Amino acid sequence: MPLEPLVCADTTTRVSSVLNRDVKQFGKKHMFDTNEETCWNSDQGTCQWVTLDFPRPVKVSQLHIQFQGGFSSRLCTLEGCRAGEELVKISELYPQDSHAMQISFATSGLGPTPFGVEETVLDKLKITFESSTDFFGRIVVYHLGVLGERL
C-alpha cells in the first residue's frame, strides 16, 4: 500500500511555544502549509515539542522534517500511543544541522540508524526536540510531514 500524508485538517496539533507568541507569523500551522517562506519558530528554552493527535489510528512509516540550519535539534525523541494510553518512546532521531529536507524511513528491525523511525500504529505522536543547536534553545521547522497508512 502506498504511503500517504497522515496530517490532515482533523489532526489536532499542539506545540510547546511560539516565538513572542506571534502565532500569525510563527505558528504551528506553518509546518504543514507547504509554503517555503513560512515556519514554526519556537520560543527559547530547552525541550521544545510538537504533538499530533490523529482522528483515527495510523501506521507511521516515515517522518519528513526541514529545520532552519542553526535552529535544529541534535536529538529528537519520538513517542506515541493509542487513544487513552500513556506515551511510550518509539525512536530517537539524530538529524543534521542543516536546512535540507530530512527523511526518516521505517527501520523494520534493522537496528539504530541516524534518522530511522520504527513503524508504529498509534493515535498520538509526540516529537520532542531534546537539544537545540541554537544557544537559546529555539527550534525552527519549515516542514513537518508524517507519512504512513490510515487504519
CATH 2.60.120.260 for domain 4-150, yes or no, is yes
Q: Where are the domains of the chain?
A: 4-150
| Beta partners for residue 76, in sequence order | 93, 129
Model confidence at 61, pLDDT cuts 50, 70, 90, reads confident
Report the alpha-carbon angle 112-129-6, nearest 5: 75
47-53 average pLDDT score: 97
Please give the mean pLDDT across all residues of the chain.
90
Residues 6+ apart with CB under 8 A from 80: 60, 87, 88, 90, 120, 122, 124, 125, 126
pTM (2 d.p.): 0.90
pLDDT digits (tens, 9 = 90+) for 102-142: 988 765 444 444 455 667 899 999 999 999 999 999 999 99
Q: pLDDT value at position 46?
A: 85
Instruction: Please name the amino acid found at residue 53.
Output: D
Instruction: Please name the amino acid found at residue 111.
Output: G
Is there a contact between 103 and 64 (Cβ–Cβ < 8 Å)? yes
